[in-house]
Amino acid sequence: MAQEAAVVVTKLRLQTLFCGLLSVVVSTTTLAAILPEERADVMYHLYDGGGMTIDGTSLLVRKNVADTYSFSANSYVDKVSSASIDVIASGASEYSEQRDEYSLTGTYLQGSMLLNGGYTSSSENDYDAETLYFNVDQGFFGDLTTFSMGYSRGSDDVMQNGNDAFADTIDRQNYRFGLSQILTPNLMMGLHYEAVTEEGYLNNPYRSYRFLTNPLDINAGFQTATEVYPRTRTSDAATLSASYYFDYRASLKFEYRYYTDDWDIKANNYQITYTHTFGENWIVDIKYRAYQQDQAYFYSDLFSFASLDEKDFRARDKELSEFSTQTFGIGISYQIPYFKGGKYIDKSTINLQWDHIQFDYDNFRDITQNAAVGEEPLYSFDADVIRFYFSIWY
């Protein structure tokens, strides 16, 4: 089976994993009219699956001033060891690298309006990203309803190890609207919408697609070439959510998201989380999430022809294929009684969360397996994600 290696690369970086930025979660606060709590968190995180091991630490510190302003600083480190399917399939050897990220945010409370803004910067040896964002939350009708609006602007620099001539950028904008509504003393619902639009180099300089050496003879094998992507991508996503409180001190949260973009990807996912408290000090969360997506129109595991020009798109990124994932998660949180209500520390918890994710691809094949071209087994893998962290409130 003839298989020509693509340009020799020192490693195949899965830039899919190193999105420029960690999505900074600004809590869509259930009650608009209060500042986030002052706290500090230290977290160790680990992702292990599909041949990749990524671990690292994250730190968050938040301080409030005059009950009117709130500031936070967050740092995040990812250390990667990867021998994933894309790495192995390209013939490259396992690689290691590190990504560092930090964010700063500020919040202002006036009446039932909350103004939020932040900056995040991320860097690794071949990808730099910066994002600036603003959000406004406003309460209406006695604060039963909260309307939120937000905007983010991102700018990424894409580089390639071993090729100093390569440099490109991505310009990104996000627009968000949301509505949270209290329906009964125990039930709250929300509807959130986000549009993302990007322009620039949207693929991965290390990744290739494969095409038949002879379109009339599949047994002649395949060749590879660098992917060809559109220079723009625009997407819409809307999430419907509900949270219900049980008077015996437990909660049930449900979320459904529908996604669509101009690469023809349609996806939906839903998530159910049940939270139960045991006494004053123990909280247990149980979570199930299911995700499903259709492929991008220019995706294929095996193309018949190579791309003719930069508008003849080709992708073999499994993230753009047709696939589904399922997650089973459990989390335990223990409030340390010794630190409760102290002079400097109000509350302190120690937490462990574990999620098990199954990935099943419907049209991405595992070409590391010995099989006839186009008949390799469909790829699937499991991953475990562990978060272990310690939090204090002061």
Subset of 344-373 contacting other proteins (CB under 8 A)? 346, 351, 353, 355, 357, 359
Q: Which of 33, 225, 332, 378 binds other proteins (CB under 8 A)?
A: 33
The 190-229 site mask, x for binding other proteins (CB under 8 A), equals -xxxxxxx-x-xxxx-------------------------
Q: How far is the CB of 393 from other proteins (least distance, A)?
A: 10
**Which one, 211 or 359, has the nearer CB to other proteins?**
359
Q: Which stretch binds other proteins (CB under 8 A): 143-151, 211-219, 304-312, 364-372?
A: 143-151
User: Angle at Cα 205 formed by Cα 199 and Cα 211, nearest 5°?
Assistant: 105
Q: Which stretch binds other proteins (CB under 8 A): 4-12, 65-73, 212-220, 363-371?
A: 65-73
**Which one, 17 or 88, has the nearer CB to other proteins?**
17
**Which one, 7 or 332, has the nearer CB to other proteins?**
332
Q: Which of 9, 118, 210, 303 binds other proteins (CB under 8 A)?
A: 118
**Which one, 218 or 245, has the nearer CB to other proteins?**
245
Q: Which of 82, 85, 86, 135 binds other proteins (CB under 8 A)?
A: 135
- Nearest one of 102, 34, 36 to 71, comparing CA atoms: 36
Q: Which of 6, 9, 24, 80 binds other proteins (CB under 8 A)?
A: 24
Q: How far is the CB of 40 from other proteins (least distance, A)?
A: 10
User: Which residues, 251 to 290, sit near other proteins by CB under 8 A?
Assistant: 251, 255, 257, 259-262, 265, 267, 269, 275, 277, 283
**Which one, 33 or 88, has the nearer CB to other proteins?**
33
Q: How far is the CB of 105 from other proteins (least distance, A)?
A: 8
Q: In the structure encoding, which two tokens stand for residue 172, read together?
A: 């990104």
Evaluate whether 269 touches 288 at the Cβ level (below 8 Å).
Answer: no
User: Which residues, 289 to 308, sit near other proteins by CB under 8 A?
Assistant: 291, 293, 296
Q: Which of 90, 174, 213, 348 binds other proteins (CB under 8 A)?
A: 174
Q: How far is the CB of 217 from other proteins (least distance, A)?
A: 33
**Which one, 221 or 285, has the nearer CB to other proteins?**
285
